[in-house]
Amino acid sequence: MRLQQLQLLLTLAQTGSMRASAASMNVTQPALTKALKQLEDEFGAALVVRSPKGVRLAPAGEMLAARAATVVREIERARQEVAALTSDTQTTLSVGMSPAAALMLAANAVSAFQSRWPHVRVHLVDALYPKALQQLRSGELDMALGPLPPAGIGRDLQAAPLIDSPSVIVAKQGHPLAQARRLDDLSGASWLLSGPRLGPGDPVHLGFEQRGLAAPKVTVDCESFSTLLAVLPSMDTLAIVPERFYATHGPRMGLVALSLQETLPATTIHIFSRTDAPLSLPAQRLLDTFLQESTLLREASA
């Protein structure tokens, strides 16, 4: 199996055409057909389905393409790493960041890292789990920072705890419950679910049902924190957000934090990486920098 054959499969998936794929890869169509046949012979399965409209990947081709995408990305990263060691060529690290992780850790950690690795470009990606972990598994991200999913992460990923992120309940100014002091006072309220179900923004964690109260009524789902800031000041709903996120953005957007007697559950931010693909040297140093920054923050708050 050759790298070009794997690239061929990925190109066919994108173009849906042998002719367009040949042009994209700068090879002749007969050469492309021959390479595809060799790949199918090697795996003993049809990888594409041909029709008058073009070609599409067969089920076996889709499975192989998913693996091929990871292989191609890893080889490209290897090229970048070697280039970074032998020349001034810039390499890129992609890091998925939850909103709380970005506010608490990103600025100082990335600045400290780039002072030591000036030729490494850091690409910060807004990422909420479980999408962030899916992107990590596919190779789109080198690492991801965010909360640990309730179901765990599986053996293909590893996680290291960084720092706790307290949460607050927020509402628009003038909300009837803005002056509430007990969680029981919020029974019957409408909620905006920030992030995925059972994530840190799910009011199910507040324990209403354990108190003998009705389950929280979620009326709006919102995956984007920027969208949350845009809509919540005009809605009669409550939401759970990271405390640092509220302190940074909430007051100027017309939101208030409820001063409750109870302490809300804190979310621990973790840093995730793959176990089946070793980190490059720059990526490992960036991961170490995030660990060091979280240690400094914990010591400062002790």
Tell me the pLDDT band of 202, cut-offs 50, 70 and 90.
very high
Q: Say if residue 217's pLDDT is above 90.
A: yes
Helix 281-301 to helix 107-116 angle (10° resolution) is 140
pLDDT digit string, tens, across residues 249-286: 999 999 999 999 999 988 999 999 999 888 888 899 99
pLDDT digit string, tens, across residues 103-135: 999 999 999 999 988 888 999 998 877 788 989
Counting DSSP H helices and E strands in the chain, the numbers are 10, 12
Beta-strand relationship, 91-97 and 143-147: parallel
pLDDT value for 85: 63
pLDDT digit string, tens, across residues 164-183: 999 999 999 999 999 999 99
Tell me the pLDDT band of 86, cut-offs 50, 70 and 90.
low
pLDDT digit string, tens, across residues 57-81: 999 988 898 888 888 877 877 776 6
**Taking the model in full, what pTM does it have?**
0.70
Distance of alpha carbon 223 from alpha carbon 170, whole angstroms = 16
Tell me the pLDDT band of 87, cut-offs 50, 70 and 90.
low
Mean pLDDT of 195-208: 90
**Whether the Cβ atoms of residue 18 and residue 29 lie closer than 8 Å to each other:** yes
pLDDT value for 219: 96
pLDDT value for 281: 83
Burial 88-124 (b: 16+ CB within 10 A, else e): eeebebbbbbbbbbbbbbbeebbebbeeebeebebee
